[in-house]
Amino acid sequence: MDTHSHLTAPNRSRSSQSPSPSHSASASASATSSIHKRKLAAAAAGDDDHLPPFAPSSLSADTRDGALTSNDDLESISARGADSDSDDAEDSDTVLDDEDEDFDNDSSMRTFTTARLDTTNPAGSSSRNTKIKMENTNVKIENSDSGKDGGHTGTGAVGPAAAGSSGPGIVVKEDSVKIFTENLQASGAYSAREESLKREEEAGKLKFVCYSNDDVDEHMVWLIGLKNIFARQLPNMPKEYIVRLVMDRSHKSVMIIRRNQVVGGITYRPYVSQRFGEIAFCAITADEQVKGYGTRLMNHLKQHARDVDGLTHFLTYADNNAVGYFIKQGFTKEIYLEKDRWQGYIKDYDGGILMECKIDQKLPYTDLSTMIRRQRQAIDEKIRELSNCHIIYPGIDFQKKEAGIPKKIIKVEDIPGLREAGWTPDQWGHSRFRTLNSASDSATNQKYLTAFMRSLLKCLKITRTVILLPMSYSLDSYCMDFVLAVNA
């Protein structure tokens, strides 16, 4: 791959809709026009520098691209076709306008974000407004799934279901689970969602696959389904532009497949020589958002990109609306990747924020929940070594007689667990002040109590608590009043 020509490639701005040189070939038929007036800024001379890393198809990319944007049959068999979600409903307007070869419709891309922020936009923000957070479900702690990692090689099925390899070695004692008792919080919301989706993968109900345009019918149907979701969820992104990138053979798409239908996906372009990938589109179908699919998808993507493509970073122009999501996936607005590794390679998009994610070289991305669970166990074990806080004693019997007088006086030192926790009678606290009733010498009692009240007041002053006492009201008399009040 000629990196130089990358750097000298014409500006590929999302705002100007300048297609990547790599797309100019596939787009030559479809890009002859656009209702979005895209500017065909890419120079043919730049084509070579984006030679697709995948095996070329026997079908002409031109024909395919054009066909896919207008072929009703293909649209009708798209993965979302029969679904309640109308992610493919927009395809009727993907017919290209042949009279306009000008791709310079900056506004269509500039309004990409603003329109989606508009609450009146039915496909964008309004659908998001109706999202319902999935309830946190407690996950039963099991020891059986340890070691199942999403290691995988090659394009195709990704994740635990397809994995034969184990993840980066995390060794945990088998018997450690035995001491994992009920009073330890099983998992947080993140882990619960990940565990739940992972179980579905293992049960074969859900799968994550990664394909590019490879002429395999099933993959093509899925890619079209994904394209439809993108078109629906990114309503201001020109549809032919989406088609072009999804079908471009230098792009790959990680897709979520449920009941043979696409639920969502990410289309990215791996720049293998530069060891980074550019995320072009990312979306989950409307009725499945905020259920954890986006997170699991990103985790699969990271693992696949690291293990199969050898990437170390991802860059993306995140839509303003989705910045929060990307931050939760480990993306930052600060770009740490050296500029010479990415500048000139990726497309610029107006209305988006360039974000970066460093891919950890060891993390078992598709099995993070197991890792988190084991870390919890390890921390819990350590705490148990150092303290008895995990032991729960039965409550103290404070049953009272009818007159309200305690049936039996419980000595402090008799409270179950207190001594075991390291308490001794000489410690600061109750033991400094014997109960007034039990003390034989009232003068001693008063002395102790006065000392206690003084120290109490000192603490209160330190914490800037203002206690207003009359000038004539001495501290001793205040304490005395307190003692009397206690005795009363």
> What sign for the dihedral angle of Cα 44, 45, 46, 51?
positive
Residue 263 engages ligand ACO in binding (rule: CB under 6 A): no
Residue 122 engages ligand ACO in binding (rule: CB under 6 A): no
Minimum CB–partner distance for residue 278 and ligand ACO (Å)? 9
Which CB sits closer to ligand ACO, 137 or 165? 137
CA distance 16 to 108: 9
In Å, how far are 11, 93, 373, 377 from 173, measured between CA atoms? Answer: 55, 59, 13, 10
Name the nearest CA neighbour of 262 among 66, 69, 77, 26. Answer: 77
The yes-or-no answer on residue 278 being catalytic is yes
The one segment of 177-185, 292-300, 304-312, 403-411 that binds ligand ACO by CB under 6 A: 292-300
Joined together, the tokens standing for residue 30 give: 């479809």
Minimum CB–partner distance for residue 427 and ligand ACO (Å)? 42
Which CB sits closer to ligand ACO, 28 or 321? 321
Interactions with ligand ACO, residue window 185-214 (CB under 6 A): 189-190
- Full strand arrangement of the beta sheet holding 156-158: 156-158, 206-211, 252-258, 261-271, 276-284, 313-319, 352-358
For 12, residues 6+ apart whose C-beta sits below 8 A from its C-beta are: 18, 19, 20, 21, 41, 42, 346, 347, 348
283, 337, 449, 453: residue in contact with ligand ACO (rule CB under 6 A):
283
Name the nearest CA neighbour of 213 among 16, 52, 71, 349. Answer: 52
In Å, how far are 12, 298, 407 from 136, measured between CA atoms? Answer: 43, 20, 44
Residue 289 engages ligand ACO in binding (rule: CB under 6 A): yes
Binding mask 321-360 for ligand ACO (x = CB under 6 A): xx-xx--x--------------------------------
241, 281, 314, 342: residue in contact with ligand ACO (rule CB under 6 A):
281
Which CB sits closer to ligand ACO, 211 or 314? 314
Joined together, the tokens standing for residue 363 give: 């993390």
Residue 284 engages ligand ACO in binding (rule: CB under 6 A): yes
Half-sphere CA count of 443, side-chain side, radius 13 A: 0
30, 69, 236, 295: residue in contact with ligand ACO (rule CB under 6 A):
295
The one segment of 157-165, 280-288, 379-387, 471-479 that binds ligand ACO by CB under 6 A: 280-288
Which CB sits closer to ligand ACO, 25 or 197? 197
Dihedrals phi, psi of 339, to nearest 5 degrees: -60, -35
Minimum CB–partner distance for residue 291 and ligand ACO (Å)? 5
User: 256 pairs with which residues across the strands?
Assistant: 208, 264
Integer-rounded Cα radius of gyration of the chain: 33
208, 211, 222, 293: residue in contact with ligand ACO (rule CB under 6 A):
293
392 and 368 Cβ atoms separated by less than 8 Å: no
For 473, residues 6+ apart whose C-beta sits below 8 A from its C-beta are: none
369 and 191 Cβ atoms separated by less than 8 Å: yes
The active-site residue out of 278, 356, 402, 420 is 278
Mark out the alpha helices in 40-159 (DSSP H runs). Answer: 61-70, 72-76, 106-117, 125-129
Residue 13 CB neighbours (<10 A): 17
19, 159, 292, 330: residue in contact with ligand ACO (rule CB under 6 A):
292
Which CB sits closer to ligand ACO, 78 or 127? 127
Minimum CB–partner distance for residue 263 and ligand ACO (Å)? 9
The one segment of 288-296, 306-314, 376-384, 398-406 that binds ligand ACO by CB under 6 A: 288-296
Q: Which residue is nearest to ligand ACO (CB)?
A: 294
The one segment of 141-149, 199-207, 275-283, 443-451 that binds ligand ACO by CB under 6 A: 275-283
User: 391 pairs with which residues across the strands?
Assistant: none
The one segment of 36-44, 50-58, 316-324, 447-455 that binds ligand ACO by CB under 6 A: 316-324
CA distance 285 to 292: 12
Residue 52 engages ligand ACO in binding (rule: CB under 6 A): no
279, 305, 315, 371: residue in contact with ligand ACO (rule CB under 6 A):
279
Minimum CB–partner distance for residue 322 and ligand ACO (Å)? 4
In Å, how far are 25, 104, 416, 472 from 386, measured between CA atoms? Answer: 66, 67, 19, 51
192, 220, 282, 337: residue in contact with ligand ACO (rule CB under 6 A):
282
47 and 24 Cβ atoms separated by less than 8 Å: yes
Which CB sits closer to ligand ACO, 243 or 279? 279
Residues in binding contact with ligand ACO, number by CB under 6 A: 24
Interactions with ligand ACO, residue window 374-413 (CB under 6 A): none
Contact residues toward ligand ACO (CB under 6 A) are 189-190, 233-234, 279, 281-284, 289-295, 316, 318-319, 321-322, 324-325, 328
Give the residue numbers annotated as catalytic, written as ranges: 278
